[in-house]
Structure 1
């Protein structure tokens, strides 16, 4: 396993950073990719990962990233975590700039990465027998909710990209895995979505017993990559026990219902 190398996007925080740690702990060589170079340097010092600063919404920057990865060795896995949400406006009130950013960050960035990195993954699969892609979408891709239309649409589009890609790669030894988390309590996702309002961000998680953490999602990603090469986990939907569905969230302690 020591010579297997993965590129993990969104590596400066949250699920991306946790995935870098999880894969390094399992012996992978990892290249962490994100915009914030200072965060990446700290992660590199902590984990021994290599890092590359890149804005995935910039086509030229992604081309440079692909070139650097090609020069620096074989690539066995792409783990696309980067993305995010902005705003909770109703459709009629939505800020078009927010929606544009969500499509750029969640959908077009993913297409750029796939187009750029598939030749590297194919070269590895030719030699080693298989390669992997993992995409972190969201349960927001599966169920709409008021105030979520922009993020719902962007993540649904990313999910459809992933499912079409799996069919397009049929017959090639390249796995295509989608991980769709529900509520995950990370330090930045909701804070960024709500424009930096820390009080409102924490209120989202108030009273929820044990929401998912970034490490939980990272463990699932690592499991999917470590499964036997002939096993493809097409879609993994994961939620905290307190969240039975996108719209059904228990607040307060979980307890067994007793007969009256």
Structure 2
């Protein structure tokens, strides 16, 4: 199944600013003086330091989506589920695995990118959206919230760029961020509350954004945590029903050794 069935936005709304080889500049020239866009925004950065996000997504006329993200050092898990089924992603530095993607087998990153299958950018979309909304709505870091915080934020004129992941900013006379992002059309806004629970922060948001000819409203309800999480639940499972996307530098080794165990495969390419 296509991952876009599980998202309230289509992949057509995901833009990339990675075409940066202009004016004769090389990649080395550009990367010699970079900084992190998220590093500059301490509130946004602090909301990105979650270890678990667990929430539901509701929109009129659409089946409910349930979304879970787990982060643990260099390994992360994303699960997007609807009544139609689910897509799971296990992401590590040199290999990314997808379950429920409609494809199976072992391929290089380039081959995976040409398939009608989900991408890490699509799967990370909701976590980036929540990080953005939590930051914009609260305007404070998570540790500053000790009770229930009523929030309301509305932007009537300026579109917003929701970066998927942490873009870098190139210093080429003026700051030029590069990366993948969603452009949220104005007017847009979010209202609701964020509350302090014993082990996490709960949120209940009404979020709206505009598009040509109308406006969509989405309800987002769930929890944000930054306590240690385990992401090794797939380690003992077989790779047979996964789409395995490997850094090309490790593809030959994976095909030669042929580990059929998820944990052994991840260990092989990341050791």
Same fold per TM (> 0.5)? no
**Larger Cα Rg: Structure 1 or Structure 2?**
2
TM-score, L = length of structure 1? 0.28
Bigger strand fraction: 2
Q: Larger RCO: Structure 1 or Structure 2 (Cα < 8 Å, ≥ 6 residues apart)?
A: 2
Bigger helix fraction: 1
